[in-house]
Amino acid sequence: MLQALLAFECVEVWGRHLDGLNDEEYEVACPQCDEEIFVAFGQYGTFTTLDSMYMNDSGSKRLPLLPADPADLTGVGKRLHARAIADHHPDVAEKLTYVFGRADCPACGERFGVEEAITARWSG
């Protein structure tokens, strides 16, 4: 429902791609090396990996995600997090801290903002 609301408000990217929150992953490109990375934040843990079959516990390299502090969220991240808390969805609020947090590329080690990588993937 939040995605539909954001779409009506013409919030680019999040009005079309907030569903990754329900899927508990986003596939993004590393801003440094352009490697395709899976950012997972759900039942399989909170990490980045290069392995699309990470849910099979294949032993692939996983680097932990760094969640944003909810007090530091701004803009749409702050708004979505506050809405999730107000609507009694702490699980969604926690996922949002990872979506608006930081990650490390398992290929090159570059640290990047998850939100920025998601936005770069679907902007335009």
Q: Could you give the 3-state DSSP secondary structure of residue 106?
A: coil
Q: 42-74, pLDDT tens digit by residue?
A: 888 999 998 877 777 667 789 999 999 999 999
Structure tokens at 92: 């969604």
Answer yes or no: is 72 within a domain: yes
pTM of the model: 0.87
Domain residue limits at 82: 23-122
Cβ count within 10 A of residue 88: 8
Q: What is the distance between the alpha carbons of residues 59 and 66, in angstroms, rounded to a whole number?
A: 21
What's the domain count of the chain?
1
Residue 42 lies in a domain: yes
From the number of C-beta atoms within 10 Å of its C-beta (0-12, 13-18, 19+), residue 71 rates as: exposed
For the CA atoms of 82, 45, 50, 72, the dihedral, rounded to the nearest 10 degrees, stands at 30
- Quick: pLDDT tens for 69-90: 999 999 888 988 998 899 899 9
Quote the CA–CA distance of 85 and 106 in Å, as a whole number. Answer: 32
In a domain, 69, yes or no: yes
16 domain-assigned: no
